[in-house]
Amino acid sequence: MSAKKEPAARSVWHGFKAFLMRGNVVDLAVAVVIGAAFTNIVNSIVKGIINPLVGAIGTQNLDRYSSCLKAPCSVGADGTVRSGVPILWGSVIGAALTFVITAAVVYFLMVLPMSKYLARAEARRKAREGTQEVIEVTELEVLKEIRDALVARRGAGHDDRT
């Protein structure tokens, strides 16, 4: 009975190893690690640059922008609600800014250059294929000319009756 389970377990293990060794899984793991490191950079930009710019108009911390749905509202320094029903729309704006900055940086520094690179690689591949087709067509034309010349030469010197 255990002999029947071993091949199934072995095939599952081999399938799992094949899954892990695929490029997509490795690329995904690298993307998660880079994304985690990148999050710190974006958060620093929002807290160090965006928040002070917003602070020139109001408070430096976007999380402090809020409205009270049910008075009296009081929120502790640690963010816990003491009374009332506050709507913390400043933190939503901060998260939205973080998302927009992250999306812009990912697009302009990663997606756009990669798509341009892939487009150039595809154009080079098509150019190579086009060149090979032109060479093949040119060789074919040369061979046709040679054939026509041989037929013309044979026709002029010999009577071709076979």
CATH number of the domain bearing residue 61 = 1.10.1200.120
Residue 56 maps to a domain? yes
| Dist CA 17 CA 162 (whole Å) | 68
Question: 134 pLDDT band (50/70/90 cuts)?
Answer: low
Q: Which residues pair with 75 in a beta bridge?
A: 81
Contact 57, 32 (CB under 8 A): no
Q: Does the pLDDT of residue 9 top 50, yes or no? A: yes
What's the pLDDT at 162?
47
Q: How many structural domains is the chain composed of?
A: 1
The pTM assigned to this predicted structure is: 0.50
Look at residue 106 and tell me if it is in a domain: yes
pLDDT average, residue stretch 115-121:
91
| Contact in structure between 69 and 86 (CB atoms under 8 Å) | yes
19-23, 26-30, 46-50, 147-151: least confidently modelled range? 19-23
SS3 134: helix
